[in-house]
Amino acid sequence: MRPHRWTPPQPTARARQTHSDPPMPPTRLLPLPGQGPEDVVVLADGRLVTGTADGTILRVDPATGAVEQIAHAGGRPLGMHAEADGSLLVCVAGRGIFRLAEAGAELEVVVDELDGAPLTFPSNVIRDDDGTLYFSVSSRRWPLEHWITDLLEHSGTGQLVRRDPDGRLEVLVDGLQFGNGVVLAPDRSCVLVAETGAYRITRHWLTGPRAGTTDHLVENLPGLPDNMLLGSDGLIWVALASPRNLLLDKLAPLPGILRRLVDALPPSLKPAPVRSVWVLALDFDGNIVHDLQRDGADYAMVTSVAEHHGTLYLGSLSESAIAVTSKPAA
């Protein structure tokens, strides 16, 4: 472990609150035969797809709760992207990015190397209509099972990458602090990537006078942003896996030996995500349109949110269900 000192932004008052105003509407659960639906996406027919920790890819009918296995990823499925024809792109921890053409088919390799090295921690992927892919890499230092170590180290080895239709790869943004969710603007003007370890959403411009430059859509978020999806309402829906951890913030500017000591502790004694259910919706100017949070008594560590015609489907790295709620009425 090679800790990098940094000074986090001062947490806002919102970071210390445990409920939103208005409150998050009640949730119901869609039980799954496995743990950790890290990402949830909506198919064109309204059914859901997710993956669990054992590598299973599941299709779920939100109306009936019926669950069917449609594939096995051969590793831990992370971010997914659903195509209009029902095919899927799947980031698989330790393996790369794959395509599932249809239920029951074998997964096809899309990207498994980057700059001559194995693509071991792809986090999220989206596809434009012309076949261009944009995907994030969380860390080139640590695998998924050591994600807390990467946040403690503040490695800054995450990336935002473009894959052209001809297969050419280009790193658009390097040095991300745990790159995570990815969203492409509907007008293709920019692509957004969540930086979990920096509490911000970074924007890379694709067109216009700022093309090729990078800035931040929003900084100093009150929690740790994870997966993001463009909702049917045109908003950017962001899952906050946990509120800010004050211990992590206090350790960050101090000598790295302290974080090495914390990292050496048994898992039960390391800093852990606070149990919370929290999602945000932003517009493309960085304004918060919806802020929905409640305590995590029966569901927690929300790592994804998919909005579909007013319904919100939540995934989690630790739970054995998809949570369903709704956004407030306008």
Q: For 202-258, how does the pLDDT look when each residue is reduced to its tens digit (9 = 90+)?
A: 999 999 999 999 999 999 999 999 999 999 999 999 999 999 988 889 999 999 999
CA 267 vs. chain centroid, Å, equals 22
Cα–Cα distance between 68 and 70 in angstroms, integer?
Answer: 6
For 29-326, the fitting CATH number among 3.40.50.11540, 3.40.50.450, 2.120.10.30, 3.40.50.1860 is 2.120.10.30
Q: What is the DSSP string of 39-86?
A: -EEE-TTS-EEEE-TTSEEEEE-TTT--EEEEEE-SSEEEEEEE-TTS
Cα–Cα distance between 127 and 138 in angstroms, integer?
Answer: 18
Average pLDDT over residues 107-129: 96
Please report, for the chain, the start and end positions of each structural domain, with discontinuous segments joined by +.
29-326
Average pLDDT over residues 14-27: 92
Average pLDDT over residues 276-297: 96
Write out pLDDT tens, residues 301-323.
Answer: 999 999 999 999 999 999 999 99
- Percent helix, percent strand, percent coil in the chain, to nearest 5: 10, 45, 45
The pLDDT, as a whole number, for residue 179 is 97
Average pLDDT over residues 197-206: 98
Mean residue pLDDT of the chain comes to: 95
The pLDDT, as a whole number, for residue 268 is 78
Peptide bond just before 22 cis, omega within 30 deg: yes
* Closest of 48, 144, 54 to residue 88, by C-alpha: 48
**DSSP tag of 14:** G
Average pLDDT over residues 143-162: 94
| Residue 270 binned pLDDT confidence (cut-offs 50, 70, 90) | confident
Cα–Cα distance between 158 and 202 in angstroms, integer?
Answer: 12
**DSSP tag of 263:** H
| Residue 330 binned pLDDT confidence (cut-offs 50, 70, 90) | low
Cβ proximity of 261 and 252 under 8 Å: no
The pLDDT, as a whole number, for residue 267 is 80
Cα–Cα distance between 322 and 230 in angstroms, integer?
Answer: 18
Write out pLDDT tens, residues 58-109.
Answer: 999 999 999 999 999 999 999 999 998 889 999 999 999 999 999 999 999 9
Q: Is the pLDDT of residue 111 over 80?
A: yes
Per-residue 3-state assignment (H helix, E strand, C coil) for 133-201: EEEEECCCCCCHHHHHHHHHHCCCCEEEEEECCCCCEEEEEEEECCEEEEEECCCCCEEEEEEHHHCEE
The pLDDT, as a whole number, for residue 273 is 84
